[in-house]
């Protein structure tokens, strides 16, 4: 069946106005930082839901929207996730990760302890679906990794837009999340994102992002 099409209706910026808006947005996004220390101050469920729904507007292969966002706010479940994540991270930091990886992480001061999994008021765990289950039958999804990656980017932007902070956490392997959250067979964990307010007087590494000359190539 052919899709129904509707007019695209959004104000268009041009010239100097467009340039100013692009500069403004760049500097706004350049201020986004990963935060590893969270305040325990709550964030309303309505806010978290709106952030997720903003992420869910991301483009996806054939508009299949192959994602599930699990919002964890229950303290006991957050504690359970922390325990399981720290088991994997302990193994990572004590032999599973090659020395080069450990060296690359050393300046950040990270280790296998992950208190943010309990401190952050909400954990958003993103699952990707390589296929959907419709009446017990498999229906393929397309470009699932790319699609879910885009949705996670939208989510991080929405979190920053609202003045909250986040951390992209990947306790590898993440399969324990399937069991802890009792997810179906067609879902695989993609990213674990704690969300909330930053802790008081939180510090972040003084990192530098690549220059325009390092990331842009014109043809």
Cβ atoms 115, 90 nearer than 8 A: no
SS3 breakdown of the chain: % helix, strand, coil, rounded to 5? 40, 20, 40
For residues 77 and 179, what is the distance between their CA atoms, to the nearest angstrom?
A: 12
Residue 207 lies in a domain: no
For residue 214, count other CB atoms closer than 10 A to its CB.
Answer: 8
Residue 138 lies in a domain: yes
Residue 204 lies in a domain: no
**Residue 121 has which token pair?**
């008021």
Read off the CATH number of the domain in which 162 is found: 3.40.109.10
For residues 44 and 121, what is the distance between their CA atoms, to the nearest angstrom?
A: 9
Helix/strand/coil for 209? coil
Dihedrals phi, psi of 215, to nearest 5 degrees: -115, -10
Percent of the chain with pLDDT over 90: 85
**Residue 218 has which token pair?**
């014109």
Residue 169 lies in a domain: yes
For residues 129 and 188, what is the distance between their CA atoms, to the nearest angstrom?
A: 7
pLDDT digits (tens, 9 = 90+) for 180-211: 999 999 999 999 999 999 999 999 989 899 99
pLDDT digits (tens, 9 = 90+) for 116-164: 999 999 999 999 999 998 888 999 999 999 999 999 999 999 999 999 9
Q: At what angle do helices 15-30 and 144-161 cross, to 10 degrees?
A: 90
pLDDT band at 88 (very low <50, low <70, confident <90, very high): very high
Work out how many domains the chain is built from and give that number: 1
**Residue 149 has which token pair?**
């990656």
Q: Which domain holds residue 178?
A: 51-197
**Residue 161 has which token pair?**
């837009």
Residue 210 lies in a domain: no
| Stronger pLDDT, 219 or 97, i.e. the higher one | 219
Residue 208 lies in a domain: no
Cis peptide before 173 (omega within 30 of 0): yes
- Torsion, Cα 77 97 113 145, to 10 degrees, reads -40
Residue 41 lies in a domain: no
Residue given tokens 């309990």 in the structure block: 118
For residue 117, count other CB atoms closer than 10 A to its CB.
Answer: 24
Asked if the model's pLDDT at residue 1 lies above 80, the reply is: no
For residue 205, count other CB atoms closer than 10 A to its CB.
Answer: 12
- Mean pLDDT, residues 17-26 taken together: 97
pTM across the whole model: 0.94
Residue 190 lies in a domain: yes
pLDDT band at 71 (very low <50, low <70, confident <90, very high): very high
| Stronger pLDDT, 134 or 63, i.e. the higher one | 63
- Mean pLDDT, residues 27-55 taken together: 97
């Amino acid at each position: 069946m052919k899709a129904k099409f509707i007019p695209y209706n959004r104000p268009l910026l041009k010239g100097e106005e467009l340039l100013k808006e692009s500069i403004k947005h760049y500097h706004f996004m350049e201020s986004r930082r990963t935060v590893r220390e969270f305040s325990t101050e709550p964030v309303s469920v309505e806010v978290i839901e709106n952030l997720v729904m903003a992420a869910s507007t991301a483009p996806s292969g054939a508009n299949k929207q192959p994602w599930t966002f699990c919002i964890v706010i229950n303290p006991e479940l957050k504690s359970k996730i922390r325990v399981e994540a720290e088991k994997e991270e302990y193994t990572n930091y004590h032999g599973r990760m090659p020395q080069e990886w450990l060296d690359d992480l050393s300046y950040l001061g990270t280790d296998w302890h992950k208190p943010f999994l309990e401190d952050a008021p909400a954990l958003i765990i993103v699952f990707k679906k390589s296929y959907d289950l419709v009446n017990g039958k498999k229906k393929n999804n397309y470009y699932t990794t790319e699609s879910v990656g885009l949705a996670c980017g939208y989510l991080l932007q929405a979190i920053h837009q609202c003045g909250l902070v986040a951390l992209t956490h990947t306790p590898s392997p993440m399969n324990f999340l399937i069991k802890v959250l009792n997810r179906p067979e067609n879902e695989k964990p993609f990213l674990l994102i704690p969300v909330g307010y930053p802790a008081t007087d939180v510090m972040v590494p003084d990192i530098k992002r690549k220059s325009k000359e390092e990331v842009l190539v014109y043809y």
